[in-house]
Amino acid sequence: MARGDRRRRGAPADGVRTAEGAARGGPARRDNRVGIARSTVRGAVLAIVALILALSLSGSWLLAWYRARRAVTLHSAPPALPPDSSSPTVAPDFFWGTYRPHVYFGMKTRSPQPLLTGLMWAQQGATPGTPKLRHTCEQGDGVGPYGWEFHDGLSFGRQHIQDGALRLTTEFVKRPGGQHGGDWSWRVTVEPQASGTSALPLVSLFFYVVTDGKEVLVPEVEAKGQLKFISGHTSELGDFRFTLLPPTSPGDTVPKYGSYNVFWSSNPGLPLLTEMVKSRLNRWFQHRSPGASPERYLGLPGSLKWEDRGPSGQGQEQGQFLIQQVTLKAPFSIELVFESGSARAGRNQALGQLAGSLLSQALETHIEAFRERFEKTFRLQEKGLSPGEQALGWAALSGLLGGIGYFYGQGLVLPDMKVEGSEQKVAPALFPPVPLFTAVPSRSFFPRGFLWDEGFHQLVVQRWDPRLTQEALGHWLGLLNADGWIGREQVLGDEARARVPPEFLVQRAAHANPPTLLLPVAHMLEGGDPADLAFLRRAFPRLYAWFSWLHQSQAGPVPLSYRWRGRDPTLPTLLNPKTLPSGLDDYPRASHPSATERHLDLRCWVALGARVLMRLAEQLGEAEAAAELGALAASLGEEKILDELHWAPELGVFADFGNHTKAVQLKPWPPQGLVRVVGRPHPSLQYVDALGYVSIFPLLLRLLDPHSSRLGPLLDVLADSRHLWSPFGLRSLAASSSFYGQRNSEHDPPYWRGAVWLNVNYLALGALHHYGHLEGPHQARAAKLHSELRANVVGNVWQQYQATGFLWEQYSDQDGRGMGCRPFQGWTSLVLLAMAEDY
């Protein structure tokens, strides 16, 4: 009764329909209505479920879309550098520079659409057929040694290049003035390598100018294809003029006879310049020096016809490429003068062109100032180093400064799309166009920006010119995306992209890199320079966002542990899946990658970062950030927690932790080649037995108390020749390790599996110096080891430099020979700070 009342009151219309139904036959109709009602309920439930699923799927899609957008969205924090910091108005002394490290000699402006200049050369008749055209630094082209003898990063440089029987010297000097970056001049000297050579080589030099947009170049030619000068105008440079002066004998003003060819076309694209010139060297010309027999040489078309202009001024929109070929007998010198219209207008006309004796005098003045400033900064002579070792120091610094480049472009980014354990497939996206002002590891092999390398680079640069470091750090922090991520390898612009294998073009937004930019930040804090502190105040929001992303995104499986994302998958061809984000590439980790891993080196980097940024926050008065960072630094600094996570009693050292077995090896397996075979014991959760650089990271980053019970065992393995110690520096992996010297695949030789690396040896020297000056039970031993390790490292780098003329990427722990790519005047330039005992 009550139920019926409720039904009637709740649905009077249904009551009416029920009465009508009873008159037509009663219960049968009611049952049908109940079935319909049930069906309606089921349909509603299904609709709700479908809606929930749709919302869930759309929510997942929206989350994926949101993450993808953030991955390629620039961070909203204020920039660390002032607006237009690269412009000639804000930084005129930095506007022009040798910012094309991948070419043997060239200059450009710090601009998204730069004016570029460069040099090519060829020895005519040295080999049958087309002469070898030299332009870009290549690992295997037979040129070398080469490198900057002097370069101050700002105003001048002198470089020597050995190419077979030839020795080239390239020099430049900048002269400030006007509103557009001032003037500059080049001198290129070509001489036979051996003195007294009877058969003097016939050499062609190619001087070129390239524009990258609608800039105007107007060449004026004299007789026989010789350019009198090139006039031009751009919005950033105003009016300007290039003048190529007649060749002379080296150190003389007497002109030498040269043959001239010229070529003018639209810009084919910077990566194609070399091939375009090669393809145009297709006609034979006669070089007729007075009083000498004529000689044939291959030359460019001898006119100023603008080739490939295309319809409707297409060539103008592409930019222009203008090149002057000068061919003559060595020895000789040629000078190229660039004059800014605004500098010329405001200059005392009595000064004249920066050429001839004025250029020689300017070079000598700069060299003398460089030597004085170098000794005042690094005090190598005061420390008793030989003149040869001091020259090594000059070359280490100059090669690093001469390798600074300016890049502009869009990188490719693969967003982090992992949602609740699944990974949605998504294509890489273009990052916004960004500039990057950075040093490079190697002009021949790695002529682009690498994040963890750059922190080590700037340790050297900051001692020499703090402004350069502020510029470099500011540009790197300008790459921060909305999440706080910076790509570890920056491939920006056509020239950089052309030199990178396709598989390395894409940067993954889930992958980190060691935060080494905080190393020069720590040095800035110690120095207390007001300009540095003003920069750090502007940079702090971005530094904090970057560190926060690292701390959160690389968190490990248990509190206060960390794990590198981005290990290679377990493939049958890999002995040990690599961990490229760590910077240590093939250094052995857990044999079977998993989410259970705990990586010691990453934890140490986070601990160091928390300490550095805590000090910075305190100095800037950022109380909330300082408290948060201080709490994290304190937790990460507790040795008890470090022990619980990473001390391996059975190994007697710190170690990684993960799913691991030592029973892995590569075995021949035709026809696949070498294949990984896993034996017994099967992998299990354990500490990873891979004694090497990772094992001593708490020591390297000075995280241990000088009275720590763990300091002694780390010094033991460091000093043991069965483990890390070698006569040439600390080896990356212990000689006692089963992975020592082992290939990672059939085509992948050992990299961080025994070789001596300067960046980590520099950290070790700094740590030993640190503990050698702190009271504790290991003070005397640390000081002694510092002295011995410094002698080994510096002595071997110096010996190899004497033998080869190069700084190398790594050094053999067996005989000390240089290995890997060369020249490697990135972090190997840290040998200078080791010589100076500046840590």
Catalytic residues: 585, 809
Cβ partners under 8 Å of residue 222, min gap 6: 228
- Give the dihedral sign, CA 362/367/368/372: positive
Name which of 584, 620, 647, 541 is nearest 810 in CA terms.
584
Contact between residue 717 and residue 699 where contact means Cβ atoms under 8 Å apart: no
Burial classification of residue 376, based on how many CB atoms lie within 10 Å of its CB (0-12 exposed, 13-18 middle, 19 or more buried): exposed
Q: What is the DSSP string of 243-312?
A: EEPPPB-TT---B---EEEEEEEE---GGGHHHHHHHH--EEEEE--TTS--EEEEE--SS--EET--GG
Separation CA 291–CA 23 (nearest Å): 132
Q: E-strand spans in 139-201?
A: 146-151, 156-163, 166-175, 183-192
Nearest by Cα to 475 from 533, 435, 513, 520: 435
Q: Which phi and psi angles does 162 have, rounded to 5°?
A: -100, 125
Q: How do 810-811 and 818-819 pair as beta strands?
A: antiparallel
CB distance 153 to 405 below 8 Å: no
For 604-624, give one letter per residue: b (16+ CB within 10 A) or e: bbbbbbbbbbbbbbbeeebee
Residue type at 580?
A: L
524 membership: H or E segment, kind and range: helix 518-527
CA distances from 331 to 102, 230, 250, 295, 512 (A): 26, 26, 7, 16, 51
- Rounded to whole angstroms, how far apart are CA atoms 767 and 706? 11
Q: In angstroms, rounded to a whole number, what is the distance separating the alpha carbons of residues 835 and 507?
A: 36
Beta strand residue intervals within 693-735, DSSP E: none
| Residue owning tokens 């493939």 | 571
Instruction: Tell me 349's DSSP state.
Output: G
Check: CB of residue 289 under 8 Å from CB of residue 202: no
Cβ neighbors of 623 (< 8 A, separation 6 or more) are: 617
Burial class from Cβ neighbours inside 10 Å (0-12, 13-18, 19+) for residue 814 reads: middle
Tokens of 638: 């507790």
Answer whether 212's CB lies under 8 Å from 320's CB.
no
DSSP SS3 for 799 = helix
**Contact assessment for residue 540 and residue 616, using Cβ atoms and an 8 Å cutoff:** yes
Cα–Cα distance, 661 to 770 (Å, whole number) = 36
Q: Which amino acid is at 302?
A: G
Total length of the chain:
839
Lookup: tokens for 767: 């740590």
425: number of Cβ within 10 Å:
6
